[in-house]
Amino acid sequence: MCDGPNTKGRTGWRGWLDLPSREARRTDAKWIDLTYPFSSSVPRSAMFAAPQFSYFARMPEKPLNITYMETIVHMGTHVDAPRHFYADGPSMDEIPLERLMGEGAVIRLDKSINEEIGVADLAAASPMIEPGDIVAIDTGWSARWGTPEWNQHPYLSLEAARWLVDRKVKLVAVDTATPDLPFDLRSVDFSFPVHCLLLKDGVLISEQVANLRQLAGKRVEFLFCPLSIEGCDGAPARVLARELTM
């Protein structure tokens, strides 16, 4: 659970987990784009206004096109920094590059509406989750992108989130709106415990990742490329992955 924020904001970020050294593997596999196109119609929380796009300059009236964008950074395919829940945590521009790239696993856990993902699900997943991995969880929820069921997604139990921290993974990516409880199951004083638990130890979170089914059950090389926004708690990201040969 998150400790309640004080008047200056919640503190208690514990630093980056030590990760095992790992020899990089080479692959010539084709990169797969795991990113949803970003637009004003992107599915979003009811508390967020839709992204707004307009033209600062536009042809043919002007000699070039320049788009103006106004948006919450936590919509569409994006990455959460520890600063999202910890005032003393690093912001997007302070995340080391090695935390955003490298080897990992895409695990397939087909789940139903509002269904929990538990420790047993993660421990039995294939391929096996290894220390230092980036872990992407394919629940099949991409098929519900933009539908009324999008916000009734599967979610990580607090024990499952703790298991991932203990396993020393460096990033958790989900094909849902959030790894925390869906909106309909939250209490009035809901405090985003899964976010808090993961981010407290520097386990980054990427949400609304697309096209995972193409890589489910495989070990892959990931690239998470969020905008390096100074002082920011999250950022839209282009996410890529390609299969590693065993």
Q: What is the mean pLDDT of the chain?
A: 94
* Assigned superfamily of 32-36+73-243: Putative cyclase (3.50.30.50)
Would you give the distance in Å from CA 201 to the centre of its chain? Answer: 15
In 115-131, which positions are buried (b, 16+ CB within 10 angstroms) versus exposed (e)? bebebebbeebebebbe
Query: Residue type for 205, please?
Result: I
Percentage above 70 pLDDT, the chain: 96
Segment 105-159, tens digit of pLDDT: 999 999 999 999 999 999 999 999 999 999 999 999 999 998 989 999 999 999 9
Q: Please state, in angstroms and as integers, the Cα–Cα distance from residue 95 to each residue in 83, 87, 99, 205, 219, following that order.
A: 10, 15, 7, 12, 24
pLDDT at 152: 95
pLDDT band of residue 1 (cuts 50, 70, 90) is very low
* DSSP symbols for the chain: -PPPPBTTB------PPP----PPPP--PPPEE--PPP-TT----TTSPPPEEEEEE-TTTSSS-EEEEE--SSSSSEEE-GGGT-TTS--GGGS-GGGSEEEEEEEE----TTPEE-HHHHHT-SSPP-TT-EEEEE-SGGGGTTSTTTTS--EE-HHHHHHHHHTT-SEEEESSS-SS--GGG--TT---HHHHHHHHTT-EEEES---GGGGTTEEEEEEEEE---TT-SEEEEEEEEEEPP-
Quick check: 165 pLDDT over 70? yes
pLDDT at 25: 82
pLDDT band of residue 23 (cuts 50, 70, 90) is confident
SS3 of 239, please?
strand
How is residue 207 written in tokens? 């949400």
How is residue 29 written in tokens? 């596999």
3-7, 72-76, 201-205: least confidently modelled range: 3-7
Find which of 25-34, 146-155, 231-240 is predicted with most confidence, using mean pLDDT. Answer: 231-240
Q: What is the chain's length?
A: 246
pLDDT at 187: 94
Beta bridge partners of residue 8, listed in sequence order? none
Nearest to 179 by CA among 199, 214, 246, 101: 199
Quick check: 194 pLDDT over 90? yes
What's the average model confidence in pLDDT over 49-54? 95
45-49, 132-136, 182-186: least confidently modelled range: 45-49
Q: Please state, in angstroms and as integers, the Cα–Cα distance from residue 208 to each residue in 39, 41, 103, 188, following that order.
A: 14, 14, 20, 24
What's the average model confidence in pLDDT over 18-32? 88
